[in-house]
């Protein structure tokens, strides 16, 4: 059984070193790449003011959070939910940094990578789509994931959207646009028209193309628990 947790947080601001705090945690469970319906969702009272810039992003106010629990009151339930799973996070250093800071402030310091495997979908997307926008909205557009309800950021909503994006990115189905003109791709791994004998001529891939193919297969293989079907080499 492969248990994964899609995790997202909302915070009072961007800089954990300035004692900004988590105000919402959203986690959604996947088992063998299928949504189970199990989730962990909690709003938190940060005991500090939320930056106006942050409110403009997630719409969460101090007034709304004043009767919500503190992080220390939910830390054990959160840890029980995520422990031993693979965490799927977009821009993982941000969320992991805030979570480890909160556990340290709650006198329970820990290193999440010792408890969970961590998969950063932003890093993965940048390797798949270098030089392109890879924020969550851009990925939704690229992979045709519906984010029409995302007027504001929200940890649980964003976790669900990220889950759909993650499954689309890592499902072993990479969109190869065969309609594009490949005539300027060097020697290329492509099929020419028939020669004078009526036989197809298949040109071998260049060394650079083989390296690129191997790297792409490794990315897919790592993300899909060894289910990449295009492996041509043992990694």
Return d(Cα 191, Cα 200) in angstroms, integer. 7
CB 120 within 8 A of CB 88: no
The helix (run of H) or strand (run of E) holding residue 168 is: helix 155-170
What DSSP assignment string belongs to 169-194?
Answer: HHSS-----TTS--TTSTT-S-EEEE
Residues belonging to the active site: 153
DSSP assignment letter at 217: H
Residues contacting 11, CB < 8 A, separation 6+: 20, 21, 22, 23, 54, 98
Name the pairing type of β-strands 191-194 and 200-202: antiparallel
């Amino acid at each position: 059984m492969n248990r994964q947790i899609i995790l997202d947080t909302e915070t009072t601001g961007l800089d954990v070193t300035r004692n900004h705090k988590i105000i919402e945690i959203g986690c959604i469970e996947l088992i063998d790449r299928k949504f189970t319906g199990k989730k962990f969702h909690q709003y938190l009272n940060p005991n500090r003011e939320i930056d106006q810039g942050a409110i403009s992003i997630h719409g969460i106010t101090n007034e709304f959070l004043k009767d919500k629990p503190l992080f220390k009151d939910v830390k054990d339930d959160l840890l029980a939910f995520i422990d031993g799973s693979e965490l799927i996070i977009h821009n993982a250093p941000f969320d992991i940094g805030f979570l480890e800071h909160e556990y340290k402030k709650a006198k329970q310091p820990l290193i999440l990578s010792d408890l969970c495997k961590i998969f950063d979908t932003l890093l993965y997307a940048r390797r798949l789509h270098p030089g392109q926008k890879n924020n969550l909205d851009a990925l939704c557009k690229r992979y045709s994931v519906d984010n029409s309800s995302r007027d504001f950021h929200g940890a649980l909503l964003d976790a669900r959207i990220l889950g759909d994006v993650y499954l689309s990115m890592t499902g072993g189905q990479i969109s190869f646009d065969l309609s594009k003109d490949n005539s300027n791709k060097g020697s290329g791994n492509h099929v020419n028209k028939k020669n004078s004998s009526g036989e197809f001529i298949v040109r071998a891939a260049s060394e650079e193309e083989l390296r690129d193919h191997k790297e792409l297969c490794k990315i897919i293989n790592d993300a899909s628990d060894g289910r990449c079907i295009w492996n041509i080499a043992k990694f």
